Amino acid sequence: MSLADYFPGARGFLEGKILGIQFQEYITALIVFLIALLVLRLFKYLILQKLHNLAKKTKTKIDDILIESVKDIGWIFYIMLSIYTGLFFIGIPNIVTRIFEYILLVVLVYYAVKFIIAIIEHSAESYVEKKKSENLGKSAMHLITTFAKWIIWVIAGILVLSHFGVDIAPLIAGLGIGGIAIAFALQGVLSDIFASISIALDKPFEVGDYIVCGADSGTVEKVGIKSSRIRTLQGQELIMSNKELTEARVNNYKRMENRRIVFSVGVTYDTPHAKLKKIPVIVKAIFKKVRSTKLDRIHFKEFADSSLNFEIVYYVDDRDYAKYMDKQQEINLAIVQAFQKEKIEMAFPTRTVHMANAKPVRSKRK
């Protein structure tokens, strides 16, 4: 039944036409549009709000992200959807309906991609927080999420074009060839980028670690996407590519449980045997007074060119280089003081020349 059957008195007006469409169809489409808009408004301000309150009570955050994504949908979309619903009750050309379908499809894909990206960002943040990563993890996760966003947008664009009837096979082939060309052109940059991802996942070092890489050493201040910045002991900033750091041997001193130190003390050759035997006792007594250190061994090691050398091995229960040097200085001063007290002379490079008396040899004349 039509509106003219419900309002026979207005049949003449309702059956009137504009652009070949009766007035009653326009009115029916308008009523459907208003009803659809009212339902969507109730959904946005009542039902969606209740769902939002329920989502807050759950442990997972996925439902919160979904609700927030739906809440971000603007009224333009709801108006377009209401118009599209009303078009089913009016005899307009199919091309108009198809245009609205395409517009709604693009808008739906746009908000669906935003929701997927929000899920990816949330997962990346949760990973970084769970691993307690510093700038290293954040930089790598930002890089990964950026790549993921571009891939998702490209896939969404291809799906939309496919729905529009566009032949996407040449487009995909073009993207593949273009991607290969770009990869070759940016081979060095991409190597550093993937190296930064490798550093983030494998974690050979983190910000604040003291590392030694070949002839270079220092404290890691920042690990970026392409390069890392290291503060050397001399104070300057050293910039090294991430690829170089992943290909070289890296000694990470911050992860030492303790530091092992080996050093030697030399005394002169004229030191009496009794005092040589007393040197290990003196050194052991010194280490008992130096905190955070543990003596491993002390031995009369060798007869050097100008000294009798004792090798001392000990451990420091601290990874900090400055604190290790403080302990070494304390030990050295204590050894000097103890040797002076015992009148043990420490050696320094010398050379003694011994000349023997010999009778001159006379030649016989014939």
Name the nearest CA neighbour of 265 among 343, 342, 331: 331
Residues 288 and 250 in one domain: no
User: Considering the domain boundaries, does residue 67 fall inside one?
Assistant: no
Tell me which residue range forms the domain holding 307: 259-342
Give the pLDDT confidence score for residue 114 in this predicted structure: 79
Q: Which residues pair with 251 in a beta bridge?
A: 212
Give the pLDDT confidence score for residue 342 in this predicted structure: 92
Residues 283 and 327 in one domain: yes
- Give dist(CA 248, CA 71) in Å, integer: 50
User: Considering the domain boundaries, does residue 49 fall inside one?
Assistant: no
Any idea which residue has 């002379």 for tokens? Answer: 345
Give the pLDDT confidence score for residue 199 in this predicted structure: 75
User: Considering the domain boundaries, does residue 153 fall inside one?
Assistant: no
User: Considering the domain boundaries, does residue 12 fall inside one?
Assistant: no
Residues 292 and 247 in one domain: no
Give the pLDDT confidence score for residue 169 in this predicted structure: 63
User: Considering the domain boundaries, does residue 152 fall inside one?
Assistant: no
CATH number of 210's domain: 2.30.30.60
Q: Which residues pair with 65 in a beta bridge?
A: none
Residues 269 and 331 in one domain: yes
- Give dist(CA 65, CA 61) in Å, integer: 6
- Give dist(CA 114, CA 112) in Å, integer: 5
3-state secondary structure of 352: coil
Low-confidence ranges of the chain (pLDDT < 50): 9, 13, 133-136, 185, 366
Residues 284 and 324 in one domain: yes
3-state secondary structure of 333: helix
Q: How many helices (H) and strands (E) does the chain have?
A: 13, 10
Strand arrangement, sheet containing 308-316 = 259-267, 308-316, 293-303
| pLDDT tens, position by position, 74-100 | 677 777 777 777 776 676 666 767 777
What global pTM score does this model have?
A: 0.42
- Give dist(CA 366, CA 358) in Å, integer: 25
CATH number of 337's domain: 3.30.70.100
Give the pLDDT confidence score for residue 149 in this predicted structure: 78
Residues 277 and 231 in one domain: no
Residue by residue, DSSP assigns 171-227 as HHHHHHHHHHHHHHHTHHHHHHHHHHHHHHHH-S--TT-EEEETTEEEEEEEE-SSE
Boundary-marking domain end, from 233, 255, 277: 255
Q: Which residues pair with 229 in a beta bridge?
A: 222, 239
- Give dist(CA 139, CA 58) in Å, integer: 30
User: Considering the domain boundaries, does residue 33 fall inside one?
Assistant: no
- Give dist(CA 18, CA 297) in Å, integer: 107
Residues 265 and 234 in one domain: no
Residues 292 and 305 in one domain: yes
Any idea which residue has 């010398």 for tokens? Answer: 350
Any idea which residue has 């991409």 for tokens? Answer: 190
Residues 245 and 318 in one domain: no
- Give dist(CA 75, CA 41) in Å, integer: 9
DSSP designation for 59: S
Centre a 10 Å sphere on the Cβ of residue 144 and count the other Cβ atoms it contains: 16
Which backbone phi and psi does 210 adopt, to 5 degrees? -95, 120
What is the total count of domains within the chain? 2
User: Considering the domain boundaries, does residue 85 fall inside one?
Assistant: no
